[in-house]
Amino acid sequence: MAAKESFFKKETAELGNFAIVCWSTHFLPYSNLKSPYPPSSQQCQSGKKLSKQNLCDSRKVGAMVRRHKQSDTIIVHCSPKLLPLSLLLIFGGLIFASGGCQHTRELPAGLLALEMIAIPGGTFTMGDIFTYENIDATPVHPVTLPDYKLAKTETTFAQYDAFALKSGRPLPDADTLGRGNRAVVSVNWDEAKAFCTSYGFRLPTEQEWEYAAREGGKEILFSGAADESIAAEYVNYQQANGPRPSTIVALLKPNALGLYDMSGNVFEWLGMYYEFYPNPDDAPIYQDTTVSSMRAVRGGSAGTPLMVTTTIGRATTLRSTRSSTIGFRCARDIRK
């Protein structure tokens, strides 16, 4: 496909408390995203939420600009010689740069961005605080967690497919409802771990998962829903009309932390966990994942009854399992 030329309308990409407006007269062909391209004439100006001082130099800036084929995102790679202070907009994620476009974290080439939610740490009582009768979720015990981040949604087919193509892995099976922004399934534990590792992330621990599902350790049985009567607004689960497949992520309401589908849609693979809950005064004994082939999953799925999607329910399966009901989301530490 030959390179095209187009006049972009002024576009605004807003993330959090920041906005940047960019426009250009060139973009790269979709099939040739990594090829060199003559510097385009581009100016970027600060949006209303930024200071009045332009982020980009008032003169023409040498840059390579391309448009991502699956979205309206404009991707700007700034020239370090011409832009001592810049914002790089890469697949919808802002990376702050200074001193010749040096940056702190960049999305690895070929991967799609993951939106991460900061989870403030704290102490909570983990386990069946509702009936104290679930033998898999008792004895209840205190857990203290530092701040961390958790993916806003379950990993999608689009995100995993990009990783699979980059790493030479086969694409996971999908049903007739397609791929795209549906929660990915048919991925085993090692594949889920490899995906998160490719971003510099990891799978969440079981304690992190429950703490976030319970919105910081609150007494919430279904993530986002204070009681069963409104669970259907937050949870994709098997209802009277039979099992439902995984859906596009974030179709239902998020919980109070801004996390979607913590209960329902797909079970989620977890990293570190302990098989038996400890007594409150005892240290937990974590499962040795280098020896054991069993792994924990949480959250229930669209193919399970509502009571399987609780924030305290636990299940395990073999690490090699590829199921149409199991997916995952990533976590990461917050470095002080």
Q: What is the C-alpha to C-alpha distance for residues 291 and 202, in angstroms, rounded to an integer? A: 19
Q: Are β-strands 93-98 and 331-333 bridged in parallel, bridged antiparallel, or unpaired?
A: unpaired
93-150 confidence digits (pLDDT tens)? 332 222 222 223 578 899 999 999 999 999 999 999 999 999 999 999 999 999 999 9
Residue 64: what pLDDT?
32
Mapping DSSP to helix (H, G, I), strand (E, B) and coil, where does residue 327 land?
strand
Whether pLDDT at 315 is above 60: yes
Provide CATH 3.90.1580.10 ranges for the chain: 114-336
Q: Are 331 and 150 in contact (CB under 8 A)?
A: yes
Residue 312: what pLDDT?
98
CATH 3.90.1150.10 fits 114-336, yes or no: no
Whether pLDDT at 92 is above 60: no
Whether pLDDT at 68 is above 80: no
Q: What is the C-alpha to C-alpha distance for residues 312 and 298, in angstroms, rounded to an integer? A: 8
pLDDT band at 176 (very low <50, low <70, confident <90, very high): confident
193-235 confidence digits (pLDDT tens)? 999 999 999 999 999 999 999 999 999 999 999 889 999 999 9
Tokens 């470095």 sit on residue: 335
